[in-house]
Amino acid sequence: MSPEDFRGLFPALRSTVWLDTPGVPPGARPVTDVLHEAVSAWSSGELDWPAWDAAAGEARTLFAQLVGADPATISTLGSLAEAAATVAGSLPRGRVVVAAEEFRSNLFPWLAQHDVVAVRARDGATRVEDLIAALDHDTVLLAVSEVTSREGQRLDLAALREATDRVGARLFVNLTQSLGALRFDPAAVRPDHLAVHGYKWRLCPRGAAWLVTRPDRLGELTALAPSWKSTSPPHGYFGGPMRLADDAGRCDTFPAWFSWLGACAALRLLGSLDADRVERHCLDLAGQLTAQAAGIGYRRVVSGPLSQIVVLHTDHADRLSARLREQGVRATALGDRVRFGFHYFNNEDDVRTTLSSLAER
């Protein structure tokens, strides 16, 4: 599918330059159509709840294809925080290393259950070398995001994998701000745990998330909230004893039906795209905005490899964000910066419109 064809599936883009996918994406018509049908069936009483209930299982399979994993290693959850809390509750005691400025869903679950070494940013950026320096033989896990939400910084996951291997620590990778726009090579990173909330670059409704656990770590995985969904199929409803599934399904949480119906539609849509082409397209647009914004006085808050998220420094973030909104550009103000994110549906006209807004003083 071409970028133009993909763009045509998003009605909001007829009137809006949408660069706020790091916050939330616009609704894709194949996804919203499924949700409209579900609401209509619910309203008319024609719903088939067992079919709705099966959507999380279908989404597990579709997601497995997206990341090259065995479905038996994937837990279906409601959020990134649930995924991190599940892993936190499954770890032996020890130190957890995480960036101090990490998004809280990948920070608070570790703080709640472990001794955490919070690595401070330098010059506005989390440094890979600082994360590595914080590791020692008492470290049980390093938790990172491939692309950071606040800076748009793309971390070197292969280097972090090598460092954790040296000290015998696990690696937890959050792909919430990258997967769907950027390619991921599981063979190069070999994360012990990989987590994704689907409502950003995967275009899902909020409430569908996945936790992928490496096969050799499945034995230590403990359910955060065991329920009737934590057993192997066919699921029962009443009585005991509690015999949880042998695979990652024992950590499934009860699915919010509409979230998972939408997730299936979104993942089918993403699965129809060429991942290499998507990444090239997104990074090209991010590079155009970065280079041309620098020419009018706006700099990235971090240096180093580009991601599809461009975060520019400004002393007037709220005012600039409001002006962008007035001109139909959706972006997010974050203190001393404004964040822009490029998906496959964005184009060079979006870059030009944004630069025109930035150039106004």
Cα separation of 269 and 344, whole Å? 12
Mean pLDDT, rounded, for 320-334:
92
Q: What are the tens digits of pLDDT across the range 255-298?
A: 999 999 999 999 999 999 999 999 999 999 999 999 999 999 99
**What is the DSSP track for 17-77?**
EE--TTT-PPPPHHHHHHHHHHHHHHHHT---HHHHHTHHHHHHHHHHHHHT--GGGEEEE
Question: Can you give the pLDDT at residue 237?
Answer: 85
Q: What are the tens digits of pLDDT across the range 331-340?
A: 999 889 999 9
Question: Can you give the pLDDT at residue 63?
Answer: 98
**Mean pLDDT lowest for which of 159-173, 208-222, 283-297, 318-332?**
318-332
Question: Can you give the pLDDT at residue 149?
Answer: 93
Quote the tokens at residue 150: 């606040």
**Mean pLDDT lowest for which of 39-53, 113-127, 226-240?**
226-240
Backbone angles phi, psi at 102, to 5 degrees: -65, 150
Average pLDDT, the chain: 95
pLDDT at 249 over 90: yes
Question: Can you give the pLDDT at residue 338?
Answer: 95
pLDDT at 9 over 70: yes
Q: Is 92 within 8 Å of 66 (Cβ atoms)?
A: no
pLDDT category of residue 361 using cuts at 50, 70 and 90? low
Q: What are the tens digits of pLDDT across the range 125-140?
A: 889 999 999 999 999 9
Helical segments of the chain, H only: 3-7, 29-44, 49-53, 55-67, 80-88, 108-113, 128-133, 157-167, 186-189, 257-271, 275-294, 317-326, 348-359
pLDDT at 241 over 90: no
The whole-model pTM stands at 0.95
Mean pLDDT, rounded, for 114-132:
92
C-alpha separations of 199 from 151, 157, 263, 305, 316 in Å: 19, 23, 9, 25, 29
Q: All domains of the chain, ordered by start, with CATH? A: 3-27+274-359 (3.90.1150.10), 48-271 (3.40.640.10)
Q: What are the tens digits of pLDDT across the range 55-109?
A: 999 999 999 999 999 999 999 999 999 999 999 999 999 999 999 999 999 999 9
